[in-house]
Structure 1
Amino acid sequence: MREVAAAAGVSRQTVSRVLNDHPSIRPDTRERVLAAMAELNFRPNRAARMLTTARSRTIGVLAASASSLFGPASSLDAVENAAREAGYFVTVAHVSGPEVAAVEAALDHLMAQAVEGIVVIAPQQRVQDAMAAVSLQVPSVTLHGAGLAGDDGVFVDQVEGARLATRHLLATGHRRIAHLCGPGDWSETRARRDGFLEEIAAGGEDVTGIVSREGDWTAESGAAIGAELLADPELTAIFSSNDQMALGVLHAAREAGRRVPEDLAVVGFDDIPEAAYFAPPLTTVKQDFAELGRRCVARLVERIEGVGAVGGGGGAGSATGSATDSAAAPVPPQLVVRASA
């Protein structure tokens, strides 16, 4: 810091204030200090800063889903990017199982790293139940779910996304439509099924909605369940709870001699990067994970700063009356229309 101060022609205290985003620093001074840092390849020593400020500026992420799944992986990436923009580090702990002991072990790992708040990416009900039995000593925000009763998480409006997909199929003339469900333990699965059924009910007496058995988010399960659904010769459309299972449906349709979209319309959910390159390109529902991460981190940082301002500890509910919480509207989904429907 002394070398940076000398290079920028300022005091060491000014360098410290720039590092800590102090509002009293003039913009031109800040730019001069930042330029000196870049020229000298200066990086603040995290351990030293913790000793000086008694703050780690670290957010923990409790992850309870396979990192290979698009939704959880995209959520984690969005949180990391948003935290970095907010000036926070991120450390991740994966839950090894749904038991309370496994959740406690992951939380202990995070607390040992002096995290100031925790983001919970745990869409499975069994993990949410385990979390409810654990007492947190820092603020937390959940990034999952669908805004169902009692859900305090930051989420994409899953019900509306499913309604958009189903409404599109109805608008293009389909009257016998199946929904390929995801795992029943996931809150997103339940919300997407509910949205499908709500839109089917609003479609009129001549509309029939069929709910499949549960898949496991993979193309393999989508192909197997899709083959079962396609045994119904009157079925003309399938709305899949995610894009990977929709890929399996496209395979099953090809095996059954059903052309897409001429004989069968297929809609997915998520808009994975490969969806535009399926054969045919997949109509799907896009989730804005970047916005999800920004809102999640903004809410958590507000709770961290709010708790710190009053000198208290406490859990996720310690900060009250916040502007972020009062405006915690769901992130809207977007229907992306391509050739499969």
Structure 2
Amino acid sequence: MSKRRPPGGTDVARLAGVSQKTVSRVMNGEPYVSEEVRERVLSAARKLGYRRNTAARALNLGRFHRIGVVSLGSSLFGPSTSLVALERRAREIGYALSVVNTFEGEEGGIMKAVESLLEQGVDGIVLSEPIDEGQVFRIDPDVPVLSLGELPGLDGPRVVITGAAGVGSGLLATEHLLGLGHATVWHVAGPSPWFAARDRTRGWRQALAAAGAPEPPPLEGDWTPASGYRAGRILAANPEVTAVFVANDDMAIGVLRALAEAGRAVPEQVSVVGMDDIPAAGYLSPPLTTIRQDFEAIAAHGLALLVEQIESGAGTAIHDDLPPHLVVRRSTAPPKEST
């Protein structure tokens, strides 16, 4: 069965009752079109699901030298650091960035952002910190796509995935604590819609299972110190807790505060490992053991792979992660009975 062709400018012109030239003028934002006609054309385009053929425009005009970024609107350390790194690296290699922010709970936000960027005209798309929007994600754009993290359903010959080392990070953190002699490791997870949070939890579970250690019920936070503090109060009240892997450093700060208030000394009574290695991590009391993610290097590496796809026209999918690193500081130690 042949694939149904997408709607074209002639279809829009026919439905709106105008010429193809008028459709072209409206889509290109040219003057000398009345507001009534403009709205009629745009309404017809929306009804048909018409999208300008930006790939054809690029062939006629040359590449746009512009990369679109779908970014979760967030001031969190990881997403914001990645966005700055993407912009810096893009400028260095002669590309501009167009950024569209999405927000948690926005239905179909990623797909809407991708459509918006394609209509603007971009040579490639970056998906930064994708989250689960409660629907099966399918994308088949005319340009290469870089995902900074796993996004189930995203596949194709021009897809680049990097920054998806969450499972390995969870493994590394949990294995460090088990290696110190702790019987098990508790977990303060990130918010479940985030694929990165799910991967870190999966790594934690895999490490416990491999060691034959019992799996305590995880506590879920929202990446903020306040949510870590709430989880930390629950953990502090449980004398069986001797080791905790926290899915990011901000929540780990809250956990440390709650343990201190409860008189549970770190690391003498409870060891804590965070993740991200934010600038403050080495200056906490005690300095925080954490899993370092070099967000700047990950973003720059991923962008280089994406631009290689753009400029070579290659059609090979790439999955290439930079490994995380354990940074051992003074918030972890063997359990008291093992010393």
Per the TM superposition, whether the score is higher than 0.5 is yes
Q: Is the 8 A contact 1:155 1:330 kept in 2?
A: yes
Q: Which residue does 1:141 correspond to in 2?
A: 146
Within 2, Cα distance between the matches of 1:149 and 1:297?
17
Q: Percent identity?
A: 42
Contact 2:277 2:292 in 1 (8 A): yes
1:320 has 2:315 as partner:
yes
- Are residues 1:93 and 2:84 paired? no
Between the aligned partners of 2:131 and 2:312, the Cα distance in structure 1 is: 29
Letter of the structure 1 residue corresponding to residue 315 of structure 2: T
- Report the RMSD for the aligned CA atoms in angstroms: 2.7
Equivalent residue runs for 1:115-194 within 5 Å: 115-126=122-133, 129=135, 131-132=137-138, 135-145=140-150, 153-194=161-202
Q: Structure 1 residue 139: deviation in Å?
A: 2.2
Distance 1:264 1:184, change over 3 A: same
Change in Cα spacing, 1:157 to 1:106, as seen in structure 2 (3 Å) is: closer
Structure 1 residue 53 displacement after superposition: 5.7
Structure 1 regions of 5+ residues with no counterpart? Answer: 1-49, 308-318
Give the whole-Å Cα distance in 1 for the aligned partners of 2:270 and 2:91: 44
Q: State the TM-score, normalized to the length of structure 2.
A: 0.73
TM-superposed CA distance for 1:304, in Å, is 1.6
One-letter code of the match for 2:141?
L
1:62 is paired with a residue whose SS is strand
User: What is the Cα deviation at residue 282 of structure 1?
Assistant: 0.4
User: Does the Cα contact within 8 Å between 2:189 and 2:219 map onto a contact in 1?
Assistant: yes
Aligned to 2:117: 110
Aligned residues: 271
Question: Match of 1:202, SS?
Answer: helix
Structure 2: gaps (5+ residues):
1-57, 333-339
- The match for 2:17 is none
Q: Does 1:203 align with 2:208?
A: no
Q: Which runs of 4+ in 1 moved over 3 A?
A: 102-105, 146-152
Q: How does 1:56-75 map to 2 (within 5 A)?
A: 56-63=64-71, 65-75=72-82
Distance 1:145 1:321, change over 3 A: closer
Residue 300 of structure 2: aligned partner:
294
Deviation of the 1:179 alpha carbon: 0.7
Change (3 A) 1:146 1:242: farther
Q: Provide the residue aligned with 1:339 in structure 2.
A: 330
Question: Which residue number in structure 1 is paired with residue 244 of structure 2?
Answer: 238
Contact map agreement 1:212 1:229 (CA 8 A) in 2: no
Aligned position for 2:231: 225
Q: 2:3 is matched with which residue?
A: none
**In 1, Cα distance between the equivalents of 2:323 and 2:84?**
19
TM-score by length of 1: 0.72
Against the structure 1 CA distance between its residues 277 and 146, is the aligned structure 2 distance closer, same or farther, given a 3 Å change threshold? farther
Q: What is the correspondence of 1:273-292 to structure 2 with a 5 Å cutoff?
A: 273-292=279-298
Q: Is the 8 A contact 1:145 1:153 kept in 2?
A: yes
